[in-house]
Copies of this chain bind each other. A is one copy, B any other.
């Protein structure tokens, strides 16, 4: 666990440094840039970019070559949090221990800053300075996969389904589909992008996709569990909000003990999917275990 902690802290700091330097180069002049930087620099676990880097490492790639891809994915994640927190959506006031963007600035700025981070992610993914001619094809594949994962068949549809199903009775398959879209899709494309940039062969890619699919679901199960039993101080956001809002969650459908067991089973399957990988996949294994052991 200490090793993983060190690994996560190191990667978090790499990503934070990269993002800081990037936004400093961009300049923070103007309200929209100020708001974007507020949201990005509020921290967070950086799970998705770390997964992206770790997937590249697992197949022998150099994580330094894809800091901008990992950062672009974090921008998309951050935009989705900004929009989900809006009064018209989940109406959350605190995120990552700080006032949410629409509280700190205003609603219009939060909508626009979210839009801007989403757009900036695609700007970054297509920036010629990070693309060598041989990988143009691969790069277009990544842009396309990220758009599909973040779009109306993936993350956005997941958020829509989540809101529509509030207060309604849905079954375990409905909630699995909902979360596969809402949380799973972006986690899966983080691993996919890293693996593709790292040079994964077809077999490795298939295993990593399986791994990603299991941890994506486990991550959301763990999130739901933490919303019941987590410590708001550690998490930097309120807990108990799902129940207050009559949200469908894994604990609300399966109960708490079965949800905890389900998360463990999923992580077991994730580890099995990458069993044949050598020690370069240790970070991926450690992240899988972290997902059910984390307290924030």
Contact = CB atoms under 8 A, between A and B. Distances in A.
Interface in A65-109: 79, 83, 86, 88-89, 106-109
A82 B159 CA distance: 18
Contact of A119 (B111, B141, B151): B151
Given A115-B115, A118-B119, A119-B150, A128 B144 contact: yes
Given A111-B111, A126-B140, A128-B141, 7 more contacts: A30-B160, A32-B160, A86-B108, A112-B156, A116-B156, A119-B150, A120-B147
A31 B160 CA distance: 8
B109 A160 contact: yes
A148 B26 CA distance: 12
A289 interface: no
Interface string A196-215: 00000000000000000000
A30 B178 CA distance: 12
Most B C-beta atoms less than 10 A away, residue of A126, A131, A163? A126
B143 A143 contact: yes
A127 B141 CA distance: 8
A139 interface: yes
Interface of A: 30-33, 36, 79, 83, 86, 88-89, 106-109, 111-112, 114-116, 118-120, 122-123, 125-128, 131, 133, 136-137, 139-141, 143-144, 147-148, 150-152, 156-157, 159-161, 163-164
A119 B156 contact: yes
B118 A152 contact: no
Contact of A137 (B31, B89, B120, B133): B133
A122 B109 contact: no
| 8 tightest Cβ-Cβ pairs between the two chains A and B | A123-B147, A88-B107, A116-B152, A119-B151, A126-B144, A136-B136, A126-B143, A32-B160
Nearest to A131: B140
B137 A151 contact: no
A34 to B, nearest CB: 10
B120 A118 contact: no
A4 to B, nearest CB: 33
A111 B83 contact: yes
A84 to B, nearest CB: 10
A148 B107 CA distance: 23
B160 A147 contact: no
A48 B267 CA distance: 48
Contacts of A143: 122, 125-126, 143
